Amino acid sequence: MNNEITGAEIVLKSLAEQGVEVVFGYPGGAVLPIYDTLFKQNSIKHVLVRQEGGAIHAAEGYARSTGKTGVVLVTSGPGATNVVTGLTDAMMDSVPIVCITGQVPQHLIGSDAFQECDTTGITRPCTKHNYLVKDVNKLSSVFHEAFTIAQNGRPGPVLIDIPKDVQFASGNYEEKNKIIIPSHRLFEPSPDFEKNKIEEAVELISKAKKPIFYIGGGCINSGPKASKLVREFINIVGSPVTMTLMGLGVVGSSDKNSLGMLGMHGMYEANMAMHECDVMINIGARFDDRVTGRLDAFSPNSKKIHIDIDESNINKTINVDVPVIGDVKQVVEKMISIWKEKKYKIDTESLKLWWDKINKWKEVDCLNYNNEGKQIKPQYAVQRLYELTKNTKTFITTEVGQHQMWAAQFYKFEEPNRWLTSGGLGTMGYGFPAAIGAQVGHPDALVVDIAGDASILMNIQEMSTAVQYRLPVKIFILNNEYMGMVRQWQELLHGGRYSESYTDSLPDFVKLAESYKAVGLRAKTTDELDDVITQMIETKNTVIADIWVTKEENCFPMIQSGSAHNEMMLSKDQKQDKKSAEKGKILV
Amino acid sequence: MNKSVYDSPDQVSETKRHILTVLVDNEPGVLARVIGMFSGRGYNIDSLNVAEVSNDENISRITIVTHGTSEVVSQIEKQLLRIVPVHSVTNLDQEGSSVEAEVALVYIYISDTNKKKVYQLCDLYRARKIENENNTTIFEIAGASERVNRFIKEINEITKVEIVRSGPVAISSIQKKEEE
């Protein structure tokens, strides 16, 4: 009886035992007891955002840059509904998040009370799991299970809804190691489980004449060791490798085997190699529609190996020949040992021919753009940013749109966990709060949000957060006064009718920065660009760099919707044939 | 194979009826998770049945009748297994490997002209009389869905009825259980 503490204290104690250092949140009526307890302690830091949507993206940025679980604390009703986008984003991109929401006291649940909403009902499809805790004595076990579920198997967001009376009630705390989670509630990969499949996969790779590795975000989620092992295995095989948007950094951009990103705005050589390969080794990717293009023309002549921790990804859109369910680092470690044990050797003759073919495709120089004149090309701005930051420990986040694709194409990543972008959900407004989270996790690193003028306005209120916590986040806006990707699709598919995609009445971003007591910089021509970037990097304060870029630049190469990997568009002049364009128009 | 917004290859197998039994932790919201997965991903539920089955009251069995190609149903099974409180998913689609039954309660309007026919039919199908008042009788019929369907069709031809059906529940047949 004497050991009893309040529910709010149990919340903080659980977080502390889970090793949580920082919580991103926003107070409100239904979480006041937790905020009161937070006030009385010093071990957990709280970052006050300016809208709950910012809190969850910040937690995502923190989680993905540190490999830890991001924690969010918000109130009931609107607090909870404002995190729905971020929860969905974390679900799609497999980011471990624990989100704590306050709820009205239990006797008011169901009465349409002030700031009441059915939080667990609303968030059920966009969380890996969620809880409404009605018994204070179950609170600690729920927290410990929630953290385990968020990180276990394919990571994802978990939400804990706590009625206010439970926060006030007294109960017992149970320690982490006393909680037994039944095995069916978790995914426990066993390295021996898929032994035969792994052997089959390795043998298939050894016989390949035109192999390609197709690497996804699962390799990053599996931890830094996974990236090392994947690099090692690819080197042993000598195979080309391409990465998804989420997988950038698993293999260094300068690695001789790397073909860069694949997919809708991926590299010509990567997509052609995917189309013509004879053995495809998918590690931790999920055949997303941005990657595959038209399914019935996807890599028609290859045997496909698919390594994934989530069984539901197997044969979901693409049928594979050798599925392996498991954690990347365990599976790839096993693959390497089998390869060495059996003294496999790939047919070097065929591999050389394959590389010759790929090198021919590389000569197309698909990222080539016209860089004449004084006006800044967006691609050039990203290239300069890369050149001037490549020797610094840099984290890049992005919003969603053209600038995101240019960042993926022109910024070269050498390490995992340095690239944070909203891939699955495509959430505009993700990048800036994510950068705040990454900066909180890495106070001494350079964190740059490559943004568009439209996206940045979706969470611009977080300027206040960045400045309050002295977070020297850099916002690098490629400003073309358009929702660039919308405009590009309207140009290519809707007869150039730019319906509502021009952003009139944009703020003066320099003055906007200054009004938050941050630093605003502007580059209007190529002559000013390097100075602005250098000044931005050197400023020990939050910075908005407003880079005026050419307005109607398109992002190429591009696989238009409904087209296949070998039907890439390299420039505007190369129109898609009318029939497939019409068919593709209905797709997203 | 056809759950992407992109063009997908032609369906590779025919659409069939499948009975899935799902064992779940008996906790709040678990049924909503299962149903939500179906509606959210565009799958069909033809009927659904839930009841506690274990003595310790912690586990429920959900019986779902769905239809789809074998690819779709395999996706459904995998998606169900992702749900945290789900213990196991069993597909009882293999012919002869399971037995199924459902119950229907039938409210039958009886007159002097059809009385004999109604009772004959109910006898034939071993439908049991539960309640009887004035011109109406409530019968209960149990058995495989097809048998219930036939009974309802035939009784409908005789008189006006009102029906409530439980939807089928199913279990692995004894033969299969022993193999396991």
Alpha-carbon distance of A471 to A45, in angstroms, equals: 14
B25 and B64: one domain? yes
Q: Domain end: B56, B91, B126, which one?
A: B91
Task: Single out the residue of A470, A446, A427, A539 nearest to residue A126, CA to CA.
Answer: A427
Q: At what angle do helices A84-92 and A52-66 cross, to 10 degrees?
A: 20
For residue B90, list its beta bridge partners: B21
Contact with chain B for residue A118, Cβ under 8 A: no
Task: Single out the residue of A225, A216, A220, A187 nearest to residue A64, CA to CA.
Answer: A220
The verdict on residue B156 lying in a domain is yes
Task: Single out the residue of A30, A126, A132, A60 nearest to residue A397, CA to CA.
Answer: A60
Instruction: Give the mean pLDDT of chain B.
Output: 87
Question: Quick one: closest CA in B to A154, which residue?
Answer: B82
A208 and A351: one domain? yes
pLDDT in tens, B69-85: 989 999 999 999 999 99
A318 and A404: one domain? no
Prior bond of A125 cis (ω within 30°): no
Provide the CA B68 distance to its chain's centre, in angstroms: 15
Q: A184, B74: Cβ pair inside 8 Å?
A: no
A205 and A318: one domain? yes
Domain count, chain B: 2
Contact with chain B for residue A197, Cβ under 8 A: no
Task: Single out the residue of A461, A458, A477 nearest to residue A533, CA to CA.
Answer: A477
B104 and B167: one domain? yes
The verdict on residue A210 lying in a domain is yes
B27 and B85: one domain? yes
Q: What is the identity of the amino acid at A92?
A: M
Q: Are A433 and A455 in contact (CB under 8 A)?
A: no
Alpha-carbon distance of A488 to A482, in angstroms, equals: 10
The verdict on residue B177 lying in a domain is no
Alpha-carbon distance of A97 to A71, in angstroms, equals: 6
Task: Single out the residue of B162, B157, B153 nearest to residue B109, CA to CA.
Answer: B162
The verdict on residue A158 lying in a domain is yes
Task: Single out the residue of A389, A435, A432 nearest to residue A412, CA to CA.
Answer: A389
Domain count, chain A: 3
The verdict on residue A392 lying in a domain is yes
B112 and B79: one domain? no
Alpha-carbon distance of A99 to A161, in angstroms, equals: 8
Alpha-carbon distance of A443 to A472, in angstroms, equals: 9
- What does each of the 588 residues of chain A score in pLDDT, given as a tens digit? 568 999 999 999 999 999 999 999 999 999 999 999 999 999 999 999 999 999 999 999 999 999 999 999 999 999 999 999 999 999 999 999 999 999 999 999 999 999 999 999 999 999 999 999 999 999 999 999 999 999 999 999 999 999 999 999 999 999 999 999 999 999 876 666 688 999 999 999 999 999 999 999 999 999 999 999 999 999 999 999 999 999 999 999 999 999 999 999 999 999 999 999 999 999 999 999 999 999 999 999 999 999 999 999 999 999 999 999 999 999 999 999 999 999 999 999 999 999 999 999 999 999 999 999 999 999 999 999 999 999 999 999 999 999 999 999 999 999 999 999 999 999 999 999 999 999 999 999 999 999 999 999 999 999 999 999 999 999 999 999 999 999 999 999 999 999 999 988 999 999 999 999 999 999 999 999 999 999 999 999 999 999 999 999 999 999 988 889 999 999 877 766 666 667 777 777
The verdict on residue A100 lying in a domain is yes
Task: Single out the residue of A165, A179, A147, A129 nearest to residue A34, CA to CA.
Answer: A165
Q: Are A569 and A264 in contact (CB under 8 A)?
A: no
Domain holding A236, by residue range, is: 195-362
CATH number where B61 lies = 3.30.70.260
Interface confidence, given as ipTM, is 0.91
The verdict on residue A259 lying in a domain is yes
CATH number where A214 lies = 3.40.50.1220
Given a cut of 90, whether residue B174 has pLDDT beyond it is no
User: Which chain A residues are Cβ-neighbours of B1 within 8 angstroms?
Assistant: 315, 317, 319
Predicted pLDDT at A185: 94
Q: Looking at residues B50-57, what average pLDDT do you find?
A: 81
| Tokens describing residue A323 | 């599925």
B62 and B23: one domain? yes
Q: A295, B8: Cβ pair inside 8 Å?
A: yes
Q: Which residue has the tokens 């980011």?
A: A95
Task: Single out the residue of A310, A282, A305 nearest to residue A198, CA to CA.
Answer: A305
User: Which chain B residues are Cβ-neighbours of A124 within 8 angstroms?
Assistant: 29, 32-33, 36
The verdict on residue A372 lying in a domain is no
The verdict on residue B124 lying in a domain is yes
A140 and A236: one domain? no
Q: Are B90 and B33 in contact (CB under 8 A)?
A: no
Q: A316, B75: Cβ pair inside 8 Å?
A: yes
A107 and A237: one domain? no
Q: B1, A121: Cβ pair inside 8 Å?
A: no
Q: Looking at residues B133-139, what average pLDDT do you find?
A: 89
User: Which chain B residues are Cβ-neighbours of A561 within 8 angstroms?
Assistant: 6
B20 and B75: one domain? yes
pLDDT in tens, A408-454: 999 999 999 999 999 999 999 999 999 999 999 999 999 999 999 99
Alpha-carbon distance of A12 to A374, in angstroms, equals: 56
Q: A562, B28: Cβ pair inside 8 Å?
A: no
Alpha-carbon distance of A91 to A97, in angstroms, equals: 9
pLDDT in tens, B85-105: 999 999 987 656 788 899 999
User: For strand B47-52 and strand B59-68, is the pairing parallel, antiparallel, or unpaired?
Assistant: antiparallel
Q: What is the identity of the amino acid at A512?
A: L
Provide the edge-to-edge strand list for the sheet that holds B59-68.
B47-52, B59-68, B16-25, B86-91
Contact with chain B for residue A317, Cβ under 8 A: yes
Q: Domain end: B54, B75, B91, which one?
A: B91
Interface test with B, best of A94, A147, A317 (most B CBs within 10 A): A317
CATH number where B148 lies = 3.30.70.1150
A87 and A142: one domain? yes
A71: Cβ contacts below 8 Å, ≥ 6 apart: A15, A20, A22, A23, A24, A59, A97, A98, A99, A100
B102 and B42: one domain? no
Q: How many CB atoms lie within 10 A of CB A512?
A: 18
The verdict on residue A183 lying in a domain is no
Question: Quick one: closest CA in B to A314, which residue?
Answer: B75
B76 and B109: one domain? no
| Tokens describing residue B140 | 């209960």
Contact with chain B for residue A135, Cβ under 8 A: no
Q: B1, A319: Cβ pair inside 8 Å?
A: yes
A141: Cβ contacts below 8 Å, ≥ 6 apart: A174, A179
Which of B5, B79, B87 has its CB closest to that of A312?
B79
The verdict on residue A514 lying in a domain is yes
Q: A312, B4: Cβ pair inside 8 Å?
A: no
Provide the CA A119 distance to its chain's centre, in angstroms: 25
Given a cut of 50, whether residue B4 has pLDDT beyond it is no
Q: A295, B3: Cβ pair inside 8 Å?
A: no
Which of A125, A295, A312 has its CB closest to that of B4?
A295
B35 and B61: one domain? yes
What is the distance between the terminal CA atoms of chain A, rounded to a whole angstrom?
Answer: 59
Q: Looking at residues B142-157, what average pLDDT do you find?
A: 93
Based on the number of CB atoms within 10 Å of its own CB, is A579 exposed (0-12), middle (13-18) or buried (19 or more)?
A: exposed
Alpha-carbon distance of A524 to A375, in angstroms, equals: 7
Predicted pLDDT at A574: 73
**How many H-runs (helices) and E-runs (strands) does chain A carry?**
24, 20
The verdict on residue B7 lying in a domain is no
How far away is chain B from the Cα of A183, in angstroms, using its nearest Cα? 9
User: Which chain B residues are Cβ-neighbours of A264 within 8 angstroms?
Assistant: none
Given a cut of 70, whether residue B11 has pLDDT beyond it is no
User: For strand B98-109 and strand B169-172, is the pairing parallel, antiparallel, or unpaired?
Assistant: antiparallel
| Tokens describing residue A176 | 């982490």
Inter-CA distances, A304 with A279, A357, B84, Å: 6, 21, 29
Q: What is the identity of the amino acid at A260?
A: G
Predicted pLDDT at A190: 67
Q: Are A523 and A548 in contact (CB under 8 A)?
A: yes
Q: Please give the interface size between A and B, counted as residue pairs whose CB atoms are below 8 Å apart.
A: 67
Largest CA distance in chain B: 62
3-state DSSP assignment of residue A121: helix
Q: What is the identity of the amino acid at B48?
A: L
Sign of torsion over alpha carbons A299, A303, A308, A310: positive
Q: Are A327 and A222 in contact (CB under 8 A)?
A: yes
- The answer to whether residue A551 is catalytic is no
The verdict on residue B155 lying in a domain is yes
Q: B8 falls in which pLDDT band (50, 70, 90)?
A: very low
Q: B78, A314: Cβ pair inside 8 Å?
A: yes
Predicted pLDDT at A387: 98
Domain holding B117, by residue range, is: 98-171
Predicted pLDDT at A578: 66
| Tokens describing residue A18 | 């889970």
- Tell me what percent of the residues of chain B surpass a pLDDT of 70: 88
Q: A149, B85: Cβ pair inside 8 Å?
A: no
How far away is chain B from the Cα of A315, in angstroms, using its nearest Cα? 7
The verdict on residue B179 lying in a domain is no
How far away is chain B from the Cα of A66, in angstroms, using its nearest Cα? 26
A214 and A167: one domain? no
pLDDT in tens, A164-179: 999 999 999 999 999 9
Q: Torsion over CA of A66, A67, A71 and A77, rounded to 10 degrees? A: 110
A159 and A267: one domain? no
Q: Domain end: A115, A145, A174, which one?
A: A174
Which long-range contacts does A321-325 make (Cβ < 8 Å, 24+ apart)? A321/A204, A322/A197, A322/A200, A322/A201, A322/A204, A323/A197, A324/A194, A324/A197, A324/A198, A324/A201, A325/A189, A325/A193, A325/A194
CATH number where A25 lies = 3.40.50.970
B26 and B80: one domain? yes
Predicted pLDDT at B176: 61
Interface test with A, best of B33, B75, B82 (most A CBs within 10 A): B82
User: For strand A129-132 and strand A157-163, is the pairing parallel, antiparallel, or unpaired?
Assistant: parallel
A230 and A334: one domain? yes
| Tokens describing residue A202 | 């390795």
Q: B4, A317: Cβ pair inside 8 Å?
A: yes
pLDDT in tens, A319-376: 999 999 999 999 999 999 999 999 999 999 999 999 999 999 999 999 999 999 999 9
Q: Domain end: A301, A335, A362, which one?
A: A362
Q: Domain end: A174, A209, A230, which one?
A: A174
Among A17, A21, A106, A115, which one carries the catalytic annotation? A115
Alpha-carbon distance of B134 to A417, in angstroms, equals: 77
A159 and A235: one domain? no
DSSP annotation string for A504-525: -S---HHHHHHHTTSEEEEE-B
B102 and B152: one domain? yes
Q: Where are the beta strands (DSSP E) in chain B?
A: 16-25, 47-52, 59-68, 86-91, 98-109, 128-133, 136-143, 161-165, 169-172
Given a cut of 60, whether residue B7 has pLDDT beyond it is no
- The answer to whether residue A52 is catalytic is yes
- The answer to whether residue A39 is catalytic is no
A316 and A429: one domain? no
Q: Alpha helices, DSSP H only, in A218-327?
A: 218-221, 224-237, 268-276, 289-292
User: Which chain A residues are Cβ-neighbours of B75 within 8 angstroms?
Assistant: 312, 315-316
B69: Cβ contacts below 8 Å, ≥ 6 apart: B1, B2, B11, B12, B13, B14, B15, B16
Q: Domain end: B46, B72, B91, which one?
A: B91
Chain B: residues touching A (Cβ < 8 Å) = 1, 3-9, 25, 28-29, 32-33, 36-37, 40, 71, 74-75, 78-79, 81-82, 84-88
Q: B6, A315: Cβ pair inside 8 Å?
A: no
Predicted pLDDT at B56: 73
The verdict on residue B11 lying in a domain is no
B44 and B60: one domain? yes
Q: B86, A184: Cβ pair inside 8 Å?
A: yes
User: Which chain A residues are Cβ-neighbours of B78 within 8 angstroms?
Assistant: 311-312, 314
| Tokens describing residue A339 | 């390869």
Interface test with A, best of B1, B6, B23, B24 (most A CBs within 10 A): B6
Contact with chain B for residue A578, Cβ under 8 A: no
Contact with chain B for residue A562, Cβ under 8 A: yes
Contact with chain B for residue A106, Cβ under 8 A: no
Q: Are B65 and B19 in contact (CB under 8 A)?
A: yes
Inter-CA distances, A334 with A191, A203, A229, A233, A328, Å: 8, 13, 10, 10, 10
User: Which chain B residues are Cβ-neighbours of A311 within 8 angstroms?
Assistant: 78, 81
A318 and A428: one domain? no
Which of A184, A295, A296 has its CB closest to that of B87?
A184
Task: Single out the residue of A113, A162, A159, A110 nearest to residue A135, CA to CA.
Answer: A162
